[in-house]
Amino acid sequence: MEFLQEIQRRRTFGIISHPDAGKTTLTEKLLLYGGAIQEAGAVKSNKIKKGATSDFMEIERQRGISVATSVLAFNYQNKKINILDTPGHKDFAEDTFRTLTAVDSVIVVIDVAKGVEEQTEKLVEVCRMRKIPMIVFINKLDREGKDAFDLLDEVEQKLGLQVTPLSFPIGMGYNFKGIYNLWSQNIQIFEPTDKQKIAQTIAYESLEDEGLRQAIGEESLTELKESLELVKGVYPNFDQNQYLEGNLQPVFFGSALNNFGVQELLDCFIEIAPPPLPKSTDKRIIKPDEAAFSGFVFKIHANMDPKHRDRLAFIKIVSGIFKRNTPYLHVRQKKKLKFSSPNAFFAEKKQVVDESFPGDIVGLHDTGNFKIGDTLTSGEEIQYKGIPSFSPEHFRFINNADPMKAKQLNKGIDQLMDEGVAQLFVLNLNGRKVIGTVGALQFEVIQYRLLHEYGAKCTYENLNVHKACWIMCENPEHPEFEDFKRVKQKFLAQDKQGQLVFLADSAFSLQMTQQKYSAISFHFTSEMN
């Protein structure tokens, strides 16, 4: 019975948004309310050296953006909450898409002034396709922004969602007075206070309360009553089953920076959000309450602690109990591995755990055994599906800027490519290394991390490549295949797994090559597993 209770206690979710919507700030404040931290880090301020808890890589602190998914766990009202704070920047979307395979629900953060932005649309589309339950948090209410009803319309139209407000703002920007909580039927009055600590808000139980009338004024109270009438008339009542099936999205309003509206979001979330869910494999659907352990690697991170040069594989536990020092089957390598110090996470802080349950994220020290998408089980040969990997869009030669550090550079490139930060191609003609990335900013991150984590300097050279295509030919001795390799030899390379890749220099060249060599198939994704 205890095993089933542990599963029911778990809530594993991701926070997604466009950059600067306040996602990392919201993560911080959830930790603050959960009692996991005593004081929130100033995410943007360079004067305060602390930085946000979830942005623990040095480059994240310098630039004020998240470049890698971080995992944070804490307990709140007898629930074990696992947050995956994802990068908002489009250049790191690949990390976010992979992370979405490891969550059971999602909170979407939207900026009250900017509304729905491009990156939010892409990420929500993925969640909609996978029917992931979503809660929308409209942030920064203390700033001047769009009308609440206009925002709700925009969320419905641009994101294709069916929304129902579970809280509603009283005023906006300079006129922001508080929030009416439709979920628990009370009113919180907004008073700007210390942003580092939890604010003590005054709650009124009724719209007819004389104290409320004095606090927000007759005009605001009348406006609130009219808005609530409209909400009840226009939007459907909240239905938990519809939410869990991905057909209805509750909306909360607040100001994460001012610790306002966050507790209402958290209190409702732990009641309505799903516990760990079943997941598909290549053979069958695995349920969390199965006795046999299984899980999959959705992220690899080198140098979580630069002092120890450690490399961790992040595993989402899908079923059974993961136990320390127990041998488990690495399905791809068909060998048993056991782990003496599996870690639970609190951003970069880690602690060794003896047991972990479905929904938990565990970090396993990795010496190079794991790739993203790998499955670990008690013995069953299954493979979890749906870990995406994308064809790169930007390509550059990578050169060693310090001949004395060739070994460090090679090791650094090798480990960062395993993380899925980018892809490595080695040209067949001259052995030169080419880095391919989804976003241009990744080149900067790779250069920075090679220098600061491996002590290796690199420079880049532009390379005119339009697309990387993985090449397959059923008959390796086919005359067409031989001719293709001879004619296109200067455009051919091997990826990290030794697969043949054609680096097409233009869309026209790619089209002509595909027409000429019909016996060869050209693939635009390389499967991680």
Residues 365 and 253 in one domain: no
- 293-321 pLDDT, tens digit per residue, is 999 998 887 655 555 556 788 899 999 99
Residues 32 and 150 in one domain: yes
Whether 156 maps to a domain, the answer reads yes
| pLDDT: which is higher, 27 or 360 | 360
Whether 384 maps to a domain, the answer reads no
| Rounded average pLDDT over 436-463 | 86
Residues 305 and 286 in one domain: yes
Residues 432 and 461 in one domain: yes
Residues 325 and 457 in one domain: no
Whether 23 maps to a domain, the answer reads yes
Q: What is the pLDDT of residue 42?
A: 37
- 317-345 pLDDT, tens digit per residue, is 999 999 999 999 999 999 999 999 888 87
Give me the CATH number covering residue 480: 3.30.70.3280
Whether 286 maps to a domain, the answer reads yes
Minimum mean pLDDT among 16-20, 154-158, 191-195, 284-288: which range? 191-195
Q: Which two tokens stand for residue 277?
A: 């869910």
Residues 267 and 151 in one domain: yes
Q: What is the pLDDT of residue 65?
A: 43
Q: Of 342, 377, 412, which residue sits at a domain end?
A: 377
Q: Whats the size of the chain, residue-wise? A: 529
Residues 195 and 284 in one domain: no
Share of the chain above pLDDT 70, in %: 83
Residues 365 and 430 in one domain: no
Domains in the chain, number: 3
Whether 93 maps to a domain, the answer reads yes
> Which of 165, 195, 185 lies closest to 255 in space, CA to CA?
195
Whether 263 maps to a domain, the answer reads yes
Cβ partners under 8 Å of residue 509, min gap 6: 466
Three-state helix/strand/coil letters over 202-257? CEECCCCCHHHHHHHCHHHHHHHHHHHHHHHHHCCCCCHHHHHCCCCEEEEECECC
Whether 389 maps to a domain, the answer reads no
- 489-502 pLDDT, tens digit per residue, is 889 999 887 889 99
Residues 175 and 219 in one domain: yes
Q: What is the pLDDT of residue 310?
A: 66
Q: What is the pLDDT of residue 36?
A: 57
| Rounded average pLDDT over 428-445 | 86
Residues 85 and 212 in one domain: yes
DSSP state, residue 87: P
Give me the CATH number covering residue 294: 2.40.30.10
Residues 248 and 121 in one domain: yes
Q: Of 272, 292, 321, which residue sits at a domain end?
A: 272
Q: Of 249, 272, 295, which residue sits at a domain end?
A: 272
Q: What residue numbers bound the domain in which 241 lies?
A: 2-272
Whether 385 maps to a domain, the answer reads no
CA distance 494 to 428: 7
- What are the helix and strand counts (H, E) for the chain? 14, 31
CA distance 171 to 189: 11
Cβ partners under 8 Å of residue 127, min gap 6: 16, 100, 106, 108, 134, 246
Residues 289 and 246 in one domain: no
